[in-house]
Chains A and B, each alone.
Chain A
Amino acid sequence: MAVMTVAKAINEGLRAALENNPKTLLMGEDIGELGGVYRITEGLKRDFGADRVVDTPLAESGIIGTAIGLALRGYRPVCEIQFDGFVFPAFNQITTQLAKLRTRSDGMLGAPVVIRIPYGGGIGSVEHHSESPEALFAHTAGLRIITPSNPQDAYWMVQQAIDCQDPVIVFEPKRRYWLKGEVDTVNAPPSPFTAQVLREGSDATVVAYGPLVPVALAAAEAAQQDGHSVEVIDLRSISPIDFDTVTESVAKTGRLVVAHEAPTFGGIGGEIAARISERAFLSLEAPVIRVGGFHMPYPVARTEEQYLPDIDRILEALERAFAY
């Protein structure tokens, strides 16, 4: 077991994938000499060469479009989109081409492309650098979407995404890149498409993913001080969503709060609320409550502390749930 940051864990995961499969290659803007704006690919071009760690022209549609062609030729491209807000020039290639290739070919062809996207706020950045667009992609059939919240998952998820026969988007919580934790490089965690109960509890369940997982854990700890036993689930996979794990938890606790940075309207929390109301209606003691972003473009950096869900916002939601 080694202790490393999320950033280093992804770097090591990519290194392992490059070593294990000669068809794996990385593509993106500034990922070669610079090692990426977050240094996630640091040292990889030096060790694997420019043909496998490709500094591309500055064009996101071009990155995903050419990755699809490479995948058709048998390669395993891992594309880095520099920031969440810059994925949109590639939206067409991702949703109309990448996601649909298998069904358009009646199951004959696939494009197992991996897209890594640093996402979320909390770093005081300029506009288009703090967004959480996961729901836009989750709405598209044919894609899989996962998001690690800790170094162990970060190390393995990127490799599991590369091994998957379907296209996978890995949303990386950028404000947690420097979060340290133990990484077991021998034993893989459970499938990346399942949720994990991180803390057991009996009075309410909080579901979170990516950057909000540490916040949810801290909120559960604070609730414990007030005498409430709160279970915390790290969703890990946004598409598909592991509803079985969430349903099982709600059957036990009777209350559910879902937290994410993305705006709540039309978001993942709404989907979870709807599914859980169908699956566990009679177990619910209170409505499912969402904590998330407001219906506004991501606000200016000096206001993001107010905008982003924090411990108090989750505690307030729990209080509302306990009021029933």
Chain B
Amino acid sequence: MSGTRLPAAEFESEEIALASAPPGPDGGPGMVQFLDPDGHLFEHAEYGSFSSGTGAERLKALYRDMYLIRRFDQEATALQRQGQLALWVPLTGQEAAQIGSGRALQAQDYVFPTYREHGVALTRGVRLSEMLRLFRGITNGGWDPRETNFHLYTLVLAAQALHAVGYAMGLQRDQAADPTLAPAASVAYFGDGASSEGDVHEAMVFAASFNAPVVFFCQNNHWAISVPSSVQTRVPLAQRAEGYGFPGIRVDGNDVVAVEAVTNWALEHARSGKGPVLIEAFTYRMSAHTTADDPTKYRLSREEEDWHPRDPLARLEKHLRTTGKAGDAFFEELVGEAKAMAVELRRDVQAMQPPGLEERFNTVYAEPHPLVQEELQAWRDYEAGFIGEEETS
């Protein structure tokens, strides 16, 4: 494998993972973890005080979110297989990263997701069936971001990182004009693949230069479709923050308790005027990139098996059961709730009607546009020409 080695001896470090190395589940000693894969909960000296609590009700609520969004993911995958959706982007494995960070947000914060953040959407109160409209091909959006402060999905990777920084620059100005406003931050979600995009670099430069209240939340799920994270970076992604001059934290992205605490810390840091933070949630895409992908072409099932014991739901279930915080009744009730949700989702999706092309003409510009109006009229006339033919045929 020497062919993949770069002549960069001066960078020799144990942390450097070369492109040939398969992604392992060990996040290293610097990774923040509260709940280990066996379900043991530990005190954390640095971030422990930022956790919203580890009592039974709090942890059950987090588990419920993760369980429901995994069930949602399974149902959406099934709907795609049955031809009801054109494509689906599964999140399985990343529930803790998304629910933990999402539950740390406050109403006034604003989220810029990429396209896999169904779990964050759930925490923002986006109606889950609306998430499927994009994948059914009836809109490129699907929900009104003004209602939930959860922006539309962005498919051009990393473009939204800059939008989040600009939005944060706006928050800064609003706050200066009206100090009674509740302090707020924006959050940019992206992945290990998108971290290579220039827009992430520019976003971090702008955020640092203007001390913008933004949290960069990178879900390192270890695979950018078929390319492992070792091709994107030689150092833990969280370390990149140091180069921009703001804090970077690697957190166990499969530990919902740690993710929530670390995100609380980061949001508070940003909201209080201390500037941006990068969080790297160390997680794993347990499923395919999309329903059009085939992971057996590029990764070993052994690797998937190595990550399996770190499943974010399994470890919290272990903890809840062994500590007596939840028992069979709780988990059985959840199965029923998830099933009802899936039935409703299926019904909603099947009821979704495609829009007419005419509606698309009307969404291009806010103000009247002569070319659009002319083409719309020509198209109407063209369509009208078929009406008689249909009747006689």
Contact = CB atoms under 8 A, between A and B. Distances in A.
B159 to A, nearest CB: 5
B318 interface: no
B145 A96 contact: no
Interface in B144-180: 144-146, 151-152, 154, 156, 159, 161-171, 173-174, 176-177
Contacts of B369: 144, 240
A31 to B, nearest CB: 15
A115 B371 CA distance: 22
Contacts of B198: 61, 89
A269 interface: no
A74 B363 contact: no
A110 interface: yes
A298 B75 CA distance: 55
Contact of A92 (B141, B156, B209, B371): B156
Interface in B356-384: 359-360, 362-367, 369-372
A69 B151 CA distance: 11
Nearest to B370: A240
B320 interface: no
B205 A57 contact: yes
A57 B209 contact: yes
Contact of A62 (B174, B206, B360, B363): B206
Given A69-B165, A72-B167, A73-B174, A106 B363 contact: yes
Contacts, number: 143
A96 B243 CA distance: 29
Contacts of B140: 100, 103-104
Given A65-B203, A105-B152, A109-B145, A165 B159 contact: no
A62 B371 contact: no
A72 B163 contact: yes
Given A110-B366, A242-B370, A75 B156 contact: no
Contacts of B371: 239-241
Given A93-B159, A108-B146, A51 B173 contact: yes
Interface string A75-104: 101000000000001001100110010111
A102 B366 contact: yes
B49 interface: no
A102 B370 contact: no
B346 to A, nearest CB: 23
Given A66-B166, A107-B363, 12 more contacts: A57-B205, A59-B205, A62-B165, A68-B162, A69-B170, A73-B174, A74-B170, A93-B162, A97-B156, A105-B363, A106-B139, A166-B366
Interface of A: 22, 25, 51, 56-57, 59, 61-62, 64-75, 77, 89, 92-93, 96-97, 100, 102-110, 112, 141-142, 144, 164-166, 193, 239-244
